[in-house]
Amino acid sequence: MTGSATTRQVPVNQSSSSGFIGRAILVLIISFIVYSLLSAYFPASTDSIAPDESGSLKEDQVSLVTSAVAFENDRLKVYRTVSSNSGKIKKKSELIGEFSLAWSGEKLSVQSKSDQQPSSSRPTDARDLSITWSNGGSSLTVTTLPQSFINSRFLSCHRAVLTTAAKESASLCLELPAASVYGGGAAFDQRWPINSQSMPSQAYVSNDFAELTGAKRSDLWGGFVERLWLTSRGLLVHVDDATPLSVGQEADRRLCLTATPDDEAYLWRSNPRDYLNVTICAADSAKEAYLAAHSWLYTRPTSSPDRRMLREPIWCTWARHKTAVAQSDVESLANDVTRLGFPASQIEIDDRYTINYGDLAWDPIKFPNPAEMTAKLKYIGHRVTTWIVPFFNKNTSAYDEAAAAGYLLIERVNDNNNKSADILWWQGVGGQLDPTNPSAVSWFANRLVTFRQQFGIESFKFDAGEVYYLRGARTQAPLEAPMQFTTAYVQQVAAKFGGAVEVRAGYRTQSVPVATRMFDKDSHWGGRNGLRSIVPNALMLSMAGYHFVMPDMIGGNAYSEDSMEGARPERELYIRWMQLSSFLPIVQFSIAPWDYDQEVTDIALKTLKLRAEVYIPALEAALTQLFSTGEPVTRPLWWASDGTVDDVRLWTVDDQFLVGDSLLVAPVIRQSSVARDILLPSGRWKDGYSGRLVDGPLLLKDHPAKLDMVPHFIRV
C-alpha cells in the first residue's frame, strides 16, 4: 500500500486502555511473586517439547494422535484427540473437519458396523473398525487404518470408499468454512489458502493453459496436480492414484472429490476402478500433517538441481525475442550480461532455433554457425541450454522415423490399430513421444545426447508433458492412471539430462532434482496468472513437495491478461517482479534490465547482490533441513507459529513467506507502493535494511519499501 515511510508497530493483541494495561501489569507482578513462592515447594511440570538430560524426549512430551469418525446430520465428521505416551490428554476430542455428500440417490443410512476386513472389491490394507452407510445402491464405507500401515505415530487415519450404483453420481465434499485449506493443484487464478478459489468439476489431471480446446485457462487445473490437501486444523486428505478422480470447488463452500470412470481422461486404464478411495488423517497441526504426508505418501528429494543454477540467474530468449530469435541475438545477450557485470548460470535458447519442430536441425539462416556460437559463449563463462518439446510435426523426418517404430502416442480405439495419433499443440499438429515406452525414450534421449555433444549444449528446457495432450490418444501400453504419463516424462526423459534441467509439469516427481517452472506468466499486477499469483503458486508447490521453484521469467512473458500477445511489462512491474523472483530458488531473466534504463539496471545489480548475500545462505541452510527433516524450503508464515494469538492472521497471509527458519520476505506486489504492512510471527526479527530488532507477534504498518528495496527480516 502507498503510505508513509515511517513504520507504525501494532501488537497483535494491542489494548486501547492505558488504565487497563496498568492493572494488568500489577496482576502479573503479583502472580509472578505467588508463582515463585509456590515453585520453591512444588516441582514444576510442563508440556513443552524439550529433551531431558539424556537428550531424549520425555514420555509426556511426545504427542500421539487418535481420531474418530461419525456420520451426523448427513455429514461425515472427523474428530481428533491428542495425548502423550503416558496417556495424558493434551487436547480433548475436537471436530477438525467435515465432509458432505453430494449425490443423486436416496438418503444414506447406517448399513453395518463390523471389525472385519472390507470385501475384496475394496482396498485390503484396512483391518480395524469398518462402518458402512448405504442407500441400498450407493455406499460410503469408512475403515480405520492400522498404525503399522500408516508408519507414523503423528497421524491417525481412516480410509473412506464411496461407491455408486449405475447411473448415479456421488461426491465427497470437504466443507471449506471449517478451516483454511492448502495444497491441491496449480491454477490460473491461484489462491492461498485455496478456500476462495472456484473451479468447475473436471478430471484431475495436468493441463496446459494454452486454450487449444476452447476451455478457458481459468477453468483448468495446471501442470502440477497432487492429490493432497491439508488444513489449518491438522486434517490431511489424500486420494489414491487409481481413483478416476474429478475435482471441483465452490469458493468458500466446499471442495468436491468425485469418481468419474467415464470421463475421457480415464477410459484407457490397465486396472479400471470406479470408486472413490480417500485417506483422511488427523494430525496435531498442519505442520505435522505436512511432514507426515511427505514421509509416508511421497519421496522427498535427497539432492538439489545444479548449484550454479540456484546461485545465478538463467537468461532466456523467449519473452525478449519470441520465435524470431537468431544467433546474433543470443551472442548479443551473452555479451551484454558479461559486459554489464551480471552473473549467469546459463543462456537458454528458446523456440524457434530449428527449421522445424522435430528434426533438431538448426535454422541455417538464423543460426549459421551454432557450434561456434556456443564455443564463444563458453569462453566468456556461459553455458548454453536449449528448448525441447516431445512433439514431432508431420513435415519432419523425425516424425516418420518415430511413427514407423511405434514411438509415438497412438489413436485411442478399441481394436489393435496402432496408428500414431494426431496431436494438436501450440505450434501445429504432429505426433507426441510416448514417455512410457522404454524404446521410445532411449531413441529420444540418444538424439538429444548427440545434439548436445555436437553443438556444446549443456542441458535442456523440457516443455509440455501434461496429460492434456493425451486427448484422443493413448500410450502403447495402458496406464493404471493417466498421471503416470506426466511422471514418466519427468522421471524417464527430463531427469536423464542432469541438474540444469527445467520442467513445467509433474506428478509424484518431488524427488527429481530439477527446476520446477511455473506456467508462463502474464505481464500484469493481478492475481490471475500475474505478479500477485507468484507467492500463492510458490506456496502451493511447496505444500505439494516441489521445492526447486522457478517463477517463470521476470516480468512475465509479455502476454496480456486476456491474450497470448502483449507488450513489454511496465517498468515498475518489472522491478517488483525481479525483486520477488530473487528471493525464490531459481531466477530467470528474459527481457533484460538494460532494455529499460540505467536505474533499472542498477536496481537489478543491487537486487542480485542482495540475493547472494542474504537469500543464498538462507537457501543453503533450508536445503540442508529439507534433506534431513523434510521441512520445505519456501514456507508459509504459519510454519513459524508457536500457538500464540498471531495464529489466525498467519493462516491467510498470501504475500509474505519464509525461507527456511531464518528469513522472512515481504515483497511489494501492488502498484505505486513505497510502503507496505508486514506481519511478523513470534520471535525476534532484525530488519534487513536498518538492522533494527523487533519482537513478534507484531504487525508493522506502512513499513518502508522504496522502489529499490525488498523488505525482509532475519530471525535472531
Nearest to 65, CA basis, from 153, 158, 159, 129: 153
Alpha-carbon distance of 252 to 623, in angstroms, equals 35
pLDDT digits (tens, 9 = 90+) for 642-661: 666 567 889 999 999 999 99
339-359 pLDDT tens trace: 999 999 999 999 999 999 999
Residue 13 has pLDDT above 60, yes or no: no
Give the CA angle between residues 160, 166, 172 to the nearest 5°: 30
8 A C-beta contact, residue 295 and residue 323: no
Contact yes or no for 308/194 (Cβ under 8 A): no
Rounding to the nearest 10 degrees, give the CA dihedral for residues 196, 201, 206, 208.
-80
pLDDT at 529 exceeding the cut of 60: yes
Grid cell digits, residue 312: 545465478
Within 13 A of 561's CA, how many CA atoms are on the CB side?
Answer: 12
516 forms bridges with which residues in the sheet?
503, 549
pLDDT at 251: 97
CB atoms within 10 A of CB 649: 16
Can you name the residues that pair with 248 across neighbouring β-strands? 256
Q: How far apart are alpha carbons 307 and 592 in whole angstroms? A: 23
Q: Residue 74, SS3?
A: coil
Residue 10 predicted with pLDDT over 70:
no
- If you average pLDDT over every residue of the chain, what do you get? 87
pLDDT band at 131 (very low <50, low <70, confident <90, very high): confident
Please enumerate in sequence order all residues whose Cβ is within 8 A of that of 214, keeping only pairs 6 or more positions apart, or say none: none
Among 581, 653, 589, 633, residue whose Cα is nearest residue 610: 581
10 Å CB burial of residue 205 (0-12, 13-18, 19+) is buried
Residues 6+ apart with CB under 8 A from 617: none
Q: With cut-offs at 50, 70 and 90, classify the pLDDT of residue 46.
A: very low
Query: Which position has the grid cell 505426433?
Result: 431
Which of 696, 686, 658, 657 lies closest to 12 in space, CA to CA? Answer: 696
- Please say whether the beta carbons of 178 and 98 come within 8 A: yes
- Within 10 A of 198 (CB to CB), how many other CB atoms are there? 15
Burial (CB count within 10 angstroms: exposed 0-12, middle 13-18, buried 19+), residue 663:
buried
Is the full-model pTM beyond 0.95? no
Does the pLDDT at position 244 exceed 50? yes
pLDDT score for 396: 97
